Amino acid sequence: MNNHRVVSFDHEPLILVDANDRELGFMSKADCHRGEGILHRAFSIFIFNKDGYLLLQKRSTGKTLWGGFWSNSVCSHPRKGESYELATSRRLKDELGISTKLEFQFRFQYQAKFRDIGSENELCSVYTGIHNGPFHINPTEISEIHFISPDELDCRISQSPDEFTPWFKLEWERLR
């Protein structure tokens, strides 16, 4: 399966929201992430295998924000006119080459600055799903993946927190 296509674009229109997830308008992905960032809709997906191990992804080094950092299985943004259901399904296929049922867990707001490059400022909906593979990773988004036990992940985060994206650490703490 050829899954090497570019699936993320600086000009794609993201959905600006307020703290209650009400749509306020649209802005390009690049503009949403400039400076301190503008609050926009996002999602994170945690894929577990049947044994309860989490699929971690290492973000491609080509990513503008947190490239080369470990994170949850998939994270992205719904685009203008796209529901959470359509957006999460699209990104599972785009990044991992899979389809699976997802369950909504919670929504939270966070802001995180990355060096002098830009910031995340997101109202993020978190989903979980189960899939054992195979996976067909898209190298424009992901450099590597592997399953990890929750206990081993807790240990890695406590020993090397700077290897992980800020949203992932916040989400994992709440999921645990």
Return the CA Rg of the chain: 15
For the annotated catalytic residues, the residue numbers are 75, 122
- CA count, 13 A, side-chain hemisphere, 103: 8
Residues 39, 142: Cα–Cα separation, whole Å: 25
Phi and psi at residue 173, to the nearest 5°: -60, -40
| Secondary structure (H, E, C), 76-100 | ECCECCCCHHHHHHHHHHHHHCCCC
